[in-house]
């Protein structure tokens, strides 16, 4: 629905929330996919705060996947 009305910040937040849910369910690859998609939208919108928080989430997911160099 948010996407239909062009509310991109809300779309990105919803996608990130799906990623966080997948993370807590142990589905780290899916979590990373969702968060990367949300990050792309936040970067397009130039929302620095949301970019930072999303990068923190992605770092946690990469640690869970043992992708230590990428998590830095």
Lookup: tokens for 33: 């996919």
Closest CA to 15 of 37, 32, 48: 37
Domain count, the chain: 1
- The boundaries of the domain holding residue 30 are 8-71
- Is 46 part of a structural domain of the chain? yes
Q: What is the pLDDT of residues 10-56, one digit of tens each?
A: 999 999 999 999 999 999 899 999 999 999 999 999 999 999 999 99
In a domain, 27, yes or no: yes
* Per-residue pLDDT band at 1 (split at 50, 70, 90): very low
pLDDT tier at 7, thresholds 50, 70, 90: confident
Separation between Cα atoms, residue 13 and residue 18, nearest integer Å: 9
Per-residue model confidence (pLDDT) at position 2: 46
Is 48 within a domain? yes
């Amino acid at each position: 629905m948010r996407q239909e009305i062009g509310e991109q910040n809300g779309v990105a937040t919803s996608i990130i929330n799906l990623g966080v849910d997948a993370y807590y369910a142990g589905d780290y690859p899916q979590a990373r996919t969702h968060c990367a998609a949300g990050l792309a939208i936040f970067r397009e919108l130039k929302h620095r705060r949301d970019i930072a928080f999303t990068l923190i989430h992605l770092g946690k997911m990469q640690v869970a996947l043992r992708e230590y160099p990428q998590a830095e």
